[in-house]
Chain A
Amino acid sequence: MNTSQTEILTDASSKNITGKPVIEINNLKKSFDKQEVLKNVSLTLNDGENLVVLGKSGSGKSVLIKCIVGLLTSDGGTIKVFENNVGELSRKELGELRHKIGFLFQSGALYDSMTVKQNLEFPLRRIKRNLTEKEIEEKVNEVLENVGLADALNKMPSQLSGGMRKRISLARTIVVDPMIMLYDEPTTGLDPVTSDEISSLINDVQKKYKTSSLIITHDIKCARSTANRIIMLNEGEIYMEGKLADFENSTDPFIESFLK
């Protein structure tokens, strides 16, 4: 990693909200075989904001979020996270950058063979290596209380409901104090009440941990309750960008059909 990148990562560890861009995507392209999934997508996530990326299934939302974290390699364009170009980072540098990014997977992705406690300890022991056993225990208990599941400590993921799995997954993501949260369909497959709870948890996380969040969803209710700004993605391209009010005032038939 060059000197400027190291400085930026060090500076970024402070928790003061600056409003500066933390993720900058320019002309991102991604194809699978001959199918173009993302076509010249450009967006910016500013420090401390909740940016919702709306779009119907297959519009390239999940591909976008996986490109940001380096799980997929883009075919063109640039992705800068804290001014580090993700495509140019070595494996080690990418690993260090990922310490600052939390990723909530659509399926929760809890490790089936581990208890809830072990699931939470897993990233903590690997990312925050200087913590003592007592500090790890305190941190695990704290995040479990924050997601309202303090009594689930010794349960296996198979003993949890869908909503509980999402909460534990969120707890596992925030346990390492990330600066950016990437949510991949956080409310998919949940009942309306649990969806509302997850949406309010996303807002709580933003307030308490001062994170910048990119929320990928097709759930307009979740978008309404969490978004500071919305980007509508359609067939791999940005269709519309603006505040919630701009979307609600839009007379575009596609936007109207989505907001119904």
Chain B
Amino acid sequence: MKKLNPVVKVKGFATKQSVRLSEKTMAKTAIANNFLTDLSDVFLFLVQIFRETFSRNFEFKEFFRQCFQIGYKSLPLISITGTIMGLVLTIQSRPVLVKFGAVTMLPGMVAISLIREMGPVITALICAGKIGSGMGAELGSMKVTEQIDAMEVSSTNPMRFLVVTRVWAAIIMIPILILYADTFGIIGSWAGANIKGDVSFVLFFSQAFGQVHFMDLIPAVIKSFFFGAVIGCVGCYKGYNAGRGTESVGVAANSAVVLASLLVIIVDMIAVQITDMLL
């Protein structure tokens, strides 16, 4: 029998392959480490925001201005995406339901899908792109051009004026935008149902809301507030902590979208698990 050579282990010795592997592992660890650091910093930022919220002199005027910016100025985009969302969902689902002779279930099925999952998540992801990047870029450029420092020396707390107002505006307006998107989604679904059929608007709506229960809406609305908090907080955090160069404005906007989108998906997953356990 052939005797196997013993494996010789020499301290400090590494093959090219093991070096490559350790570099890959280090790179993966660095990504995970950065993500966790970002996550903890965003959490601490959120705590600071809540502390500033309940101190005196809440900037109501700026808060309403931000509500207008976040809410009203997003309406065209949300209307279009909401309508298309409902339309596509209906067109894709109809053939399967026809095959099983359950086409009358279409309005209810689409309404439940939109209200419970599709509406909140897709709208939140669109808002992460539009609102999160906007906040990141705006606050980032204010940091680079010393506007935040100018505010600080004008005896104005920039955290209270710029961040608290934006985060609360996002917390309030994003659930409203999600409900608005749901409504347009159902209108889009009705339009989709009428491409190959003939359903009246009233009948479609009564069939849709006949299947939707109050408990379908409540968890979706609750998680929408968390989506708003995540988008506002991440956008402001990335912008407020941007570096000093102009390049950092782009980095802030980009990383705000990436982190906010990722956190929206994670928050959704947690919300679904909790809802599933409770209901």
Q: Mask for A94-123, Cβ within 8 A of B = 1, else 0?
A: 011011010101110111110000000011
Residue pair A126, B150 in contact (C-beta under 8 Å): no
**Does A168 count as interface, using CB distance less than 8 angstroms?**
no
Residue pair A109, B155 in contact (C-beta under 8 Å): no
Q: How far does the alpha carbon of A99 sit from the alpha carbon of B155 in the complex, in Å?
A: 7
Residue pair B156, A69 in contact (C-beta under 8 Å): no
Residue among B141, B146, B154, B156 with max Cβ neighbours from chain A (10 Å): B154
**Does B149 count as interface, using CB distance less than 8 angstroms?**
yes
Q: Which of B250-272 contact A (CB under 8 A)?
A: none
Residues of chain B within 8 A (CB-CB) of A113 are 138
Q: Mask for B160-172, Cβ within 8 A of A = 1, else 0?
A: 0000000000000
**Does B145 count as interface, using CB distance less than 8 angstroms?**
yes
Residues of B in contact with A, size category:
10 to 19
Residues of chain A within 8 A (CB-CB) of B149 are 66, 71, 105, 109
Q: How far does the alpha carbon of A256 sit from the alpha carbon of B199 in the complex, in Å?
A: 89
Question: Chain A's nearest CB lies how many Å from the CB of B63?
Answer: 15
**Does B147 count as interface, using CB distance less than 8 angstroms?**
yes
Q: Mask for B118-139, Cβ within 8 A of A = 1, else 0?
A: 0000000000000000000010
Q: How far does the alpha carbon of A126 sit from the alpha carbon of B151 in the complex, in Å?
A: 10
Identity of the chain A residue whose Cβ is nearest the Cβ of B69 in the assembled complex? A113
Residue pair A123, B154 in contact (C-beta under 8 Å): yes
Residue pair B146, A107 in contact (C-beta under 8 Å): yes
Residues of chain A within 8 A (CB-CB) of B155 are 95-96, 98-99, 123, 126-127
Residues of chain A within 8 A (CB-CB) of B156 are 122-123, 126
Identity of the chain A residue whose Cβ is nearest the Cβ of B144 in the assembled complex? A107
Identity of the chain B residue whose Cβ is nearest the Cβ of A101 in the assembled complex? B153
Identity of the chain A residue whose Cβ is nearest the Cβ of B148 in the assembled complex? A109
Residues of chain B within 8 A (CB-CB) of A69 are 153
- In the complex, 27 of the A-B residue pairs with CB atoms within 8 angstroms, ordered by the A residue number, are A66-B149, A69-B153, A71-B149, A96-B155, A98-B153, A98-B155, A101-B153, A103-B153, A105-B146, A107-B145, A107-B146, A109-B145, A109-B146, A109-B147, A109-B150, A110-B147, A111-B142, A111-B151, A112-B141, A112-B142, A113-B138, A122-B156, A123-B154, A126-B154, A126-B156, A127-B155, A176-B154
Q: 10 tightest A-B contacts by CB?
A: A109-B150, A123-B154, A109-B146, A95-B155, A103-B153, A105-B146, A109-B147, A107-B145, A98-B155, A107-B146
